[in-house]
């Protein structure tokens, strides 16, 4: 079993955090936190998922004497309200939420730091509002495309990496045998029409599968944590299937990004991607680099997908520290 230690590069927990809920309309209230230097280099951190939410640990990735650090939970995620809501929840609405937060915090310009789905969201925002973005750091590249989503969901994707964990998700008792060829629709329907207990069990099973491939080798401690609190998995899983069925499979966000990539050509970009990223294949990072040859690409040997992987986290922190040069 692989063990995971806490990074020595993490900055101390902030002693003061400004926090609150920002009303962005459509009955959504975004939970946000601001720490670090009041007049520091502003950077907004975008979590993954969709629906993963922030842990609060993300403040510690940034030098508090240099950065003004802004975290927020996207619609339906974490401490944003209402929890796990799919109503009026789309990639386009999340882009506008970033803009609303920028205006609320009176930021003339800022950097975006996004991981996984957050890397896609960072690019989508930058392509619409390039005048406000100073630079990007993108970790675990995801393009918001149907193929990328189904790589995680369906059997012909990452399933062979950890078949034991895939099977407990794909062969659950509530999945009819004749529906296993379309887990995307089956799980989406559960979160739309299923009873509460089935939804929570489905969320837990998908989260266990997703977490099993988030590291280069399964982190059993993280998996046990999911089993102890299965309700916590609901936002991530419900929103991920909502976005997949209603957006990633219906609109080619990858094509949008690559067709407008010229808008990023003069922007400093750092790409960080784990060599053993089973959730977002490392080919994604190489493809983005081909379209943005000026970007600094860092493939982290032996690393997985999640920011909880110390190899990824340390590389992320070192990259941010390099901005001070």
What is the average pLDDT score of the chain?
95
* pLDDT, tens only, 87-124: 999 999 999 999 999 999 999 999 999 999 999 999 99
* pLDDT, tens only, 32-68: 999 999 999 999 999 999 999 999 899 999 999 999 9
User: For residue 82, is the peptide bond before it cis, meaning its omega torsion is within 30 degrees of 0?
Assistant: yes
Q: Are strands 41-46 and 67-72 parallel, antiparallel or unpaired?
A: parallel
Closest CA to 116 of 186, 24, 200, 50: 50
Residues 318 and 239: their CA atoms lie apart, in Å, by 31
Characterize 231-243 residue by residue with b for buried, 16 or more Cβ atoms within 10 angstroms of its Cβ, and e for exposed.
eebbbbbbbbbbb
Hey, is 296 helix, strand or coil? strand
Which residue numbers are catalytic? 116, 277, 305
| Tokens 């609150």 -> residue | 20
Query: Is the CATH number of domain 18-145+252-322 3.40.50.1820?
Result: yes
Q: What confidence tier does 325 reach under pLDDT thresholds 50, 70, 90? A: low
Residues 153 and 209: their CA atoms lie apart, in Å, by 9
Cβ-based neighbours of 169, under 8 Å, separated by 6 or more: 183, 205, 206, 208, 209
Q: What confidence tier does 9 reach under pLDDT thresholds 50, 70, 90? A: confident
Residues 200 and 122: their CA atoms lie apart, in Å, by 30
Residues 209 and 166: their CA atoms lie apart, in Å, by 6
Reading phi first (left if > 0) and then psi (alpha if -120 to 50, else beta), residue 229 is in beta
Q: Where in the chain are all domains bearing CATH 3.40.50.1820?
A: 18-145+252-322
**What is the per-residue pLDDT for 179?**
86
8 A C-beta contact, residue 62 and residue 36:
yes
């Amino acid at each position: 079993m692989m063990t995971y230690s806490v990074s020595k590069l993490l900055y101390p927990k902030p002693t003061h955090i400004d926090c609150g809920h920002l009303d962005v309309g459509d009955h959504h209230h975004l939970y946000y936190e601001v720490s670090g230097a009041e007049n520091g280099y502003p950077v907004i951190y975008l979590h993954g998922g969709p629906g993963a939410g922030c842990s609060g640990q993300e403040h510690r990735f940034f030098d508090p004497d240099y950065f003004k650090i802004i975290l927020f939970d996207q619609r339906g995620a974490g401490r944003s309200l209402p929890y796990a809501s799919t109503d009026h929840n789309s990639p386009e609405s999340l882009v506008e939420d970033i803009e609303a937060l920028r205006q609320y915090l009176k930021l003339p310009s800022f950097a975006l730091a996004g991981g996984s789905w957050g890397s896609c969201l960072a690019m989508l925002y930058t392509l619409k509002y390039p005048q406000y973005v100073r630079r990007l750091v993108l970790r675990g590249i995801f393009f918001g495309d149907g193929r990328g989503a189904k790589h995680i969901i369906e059997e012909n994707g990452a399933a062979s990496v950890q078949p034991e964990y895939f099977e407990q998700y794909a062969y659950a008792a509530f999945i009819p045998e004749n529906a296993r060829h379309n887990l995307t629709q089956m799980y989406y329907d559960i979160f739309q029409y299923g009873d509460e207990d089935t939804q929570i069990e489905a969320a837990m099973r998908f989260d266990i599968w997703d977490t099993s491939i988030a590291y280069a080798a399964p982190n059993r401690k993280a998996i046990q944590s999911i089993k102890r609190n299965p309700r916590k998995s609901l936002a991530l899983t419900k929103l991920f299937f909502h976005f997949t069925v209603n957006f990633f499979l219906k609109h080619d966000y990858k094509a949008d990004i690559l067709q407008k990539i010229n808008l990023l050509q003069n922007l400093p970009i750092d790409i960080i991607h784990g060599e053993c990223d089973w959730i977002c294949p490392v080919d994604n990072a190489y493809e983005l680099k081909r379209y943005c040859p000026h970007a600094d690409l860092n493939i982290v040997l032996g690393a997985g997908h999640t920011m909880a992987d110390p190899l990824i986290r340390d590389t992320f922190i070192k990259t941010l520290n390099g901005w001070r040069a």
